[in-house]
Amino acid sequence: MTSVPSPAQAAEIRFGLICGVAAYALWGLFPVYLKQLSFADPAEIVAHRIVWSVPFGAFILSLRGQWRETLAAARSPRILALLGVAAVFIALNWLIYVWAVANDRVLQASLGYYINPLVFIAAGVFFLKEKLSRLQIIAVVMATIGVAVLTFGAGVFPWPSFVLAFSFTMYGLVRKTTAVGAMPGLFIETVLLSPVALLFLMWLQSQGTLALGRHGFGSDFLLFLAGPVTVGPLVLFALAARRLTLTTIGFLQYIGPTGQFFLGLYYGEAFTTAHAICFGLIWSALALISLDALRRNRKPAKPIAA
The pLDDT tens digits of the residues spanning 84-122 come to 999 999 999 999 999 999 999 999 999 998 888 888 777
**What gap in Å lies between CA 180 and CA 96, rounded to an integer?**
26
Q: Work out the percent of the chain whose per-residue pLDDT is above 90.
A: 53
> Is residue 301 one of the residues assigned to a domain?
no
User: Which pLDDT belongs to residue 4?
Assistant: 66
| pLDDT interval class at 298 (50, 70, 90) | low
User: Which pLDDT belongs to residue 3?
Assistant: 59
> Is residue 108 one of the residues assigned to a domain?
yes
pLDDT at 185 over 60: yes
> Is residue 2 one of the residues assigned to a domain?
no
- pLDDT per residue over 255-279, tens digit each? 999 999 999 999 999 898 989 999 9
Tell me how many degrees the CA angle 248-25-40 measures, rounded to the nearest 5. Answer: 140
- pLDDT per residue over 41-85, tens digit each? 999 999 999 999 999 999 999 999 999 999 999 999 999 999 999
Q: How many independent structural domains does the chain possess?
A: 1
> Is residue 32 one of the residues assigned to a domain?
yes
User: Which pLDDT belongs to residue 1?
Assistant: 46
> Is residue 304 one of the residues assigned to a domain?
no
264: containing domain: 7-296
> Is residue 198 one of the residues assigned to a domain?
yes
Closest CA to 305 of 141, 93, 95, 69: 69
DSSP 235-249: HHHHHHHTTS-HHHH
> Is residue 305 one of the residues assigned to a domain?
no
> Is residue 303 one of the residues assigned to a domain?
no
| pLDDT interval class at 301 (50, 70, 90) | very low
User: Which pLDDT belongs to residue 116?
Assistant: 83
Closest CA to 49 of 171, 41, 126: 41
Q: Position 141: which residue type?
A: V
